[in-house]
Amino acid sequence: MGTRLLYLSVLVGCLLSTAPLPWLLRVKVWGRWRRLVRTLPPVVAAFTVWDAYAIGAGHWSFDPSHVTGIRIGTIPLEEILFFVVVPICGVAAYEAILAGKHKGVPAASPDAASRSGESR
């Protein structure tokens, strides 16, 4: 029974290792949910279509003992969650690098001077 949560556990692991990064690096990811809800749906849609085609054509399949068995049509729920979790990790990584590059609020932002204490 425990092994049916394997795929789900991998996704949870990805999320858990990514979730604290925005807090640690002070990068806004979750706070920018408006941008996320516009970014994710087309990605999820496109890859779900690919997944459905591939499953139908027999490119890949899933070991029933390693997935929960919950499906949306022919597609395991875990796959759809994969298309949500991995992009979020990508955005977090991208914003983390961007924040490191700017080392704080960019100068162009009106908040720059007051927030970082520098005079510009």
Partner 1 sequence: MTYTQLAVLSVLAVAAVDLWAARTRLLSSRIFWSAYAIVLPAQLISNGVLTGTGTVRYSGSAIIGSDTPVRTRPPLFGDGRVFYAPVEDLLFGFSLILLTLVLWVVWGRRGVDSVPESGPPRWVRD
Binding site for partner 1 (CB under 8 A): 6-7, 10-11, 13-14, 17, 23-28, 31-35, 38-40, 42-43, 46-47, 50, 53-54, 57-63, 66-67, 83, 86-87, 89-91, 93-106, 109, 111, 116-117
Q: Minimum CB separation from partner 1 for residue 120, in Å?
A: 16
Per DSSP, the three-state class of 76 is strand
Residue 34 amino acid letter:
R
Q: What is the DSSP letter of 70?
A: -
CA distance 1 to 68: 9
**Burial zone of 46 (CB within 10 Å; 0-12 exposed, 13-18 middle, 19+ buried):** exposed
CA distance 67 to 10: 11
Report the residue number, 53 or 70, with the smaller CB distance to partner 1. 53
Report the residue number, 23 or 72, with the smaller CB distance to partner 1. 23
Report the residue number, 59 or 73, with the smaller CB distance to partner 1. 59
Report the residue number, 13 or 73, with the smaller CB distance to partner 1. 13
Q: Minimum CB separation from partner 1 for residue 42, in Å?
A: 6
CA distance 62 to 39: 27
Q: Minimum CB separation from partner 1 for residue 2, in Å?
A: 13
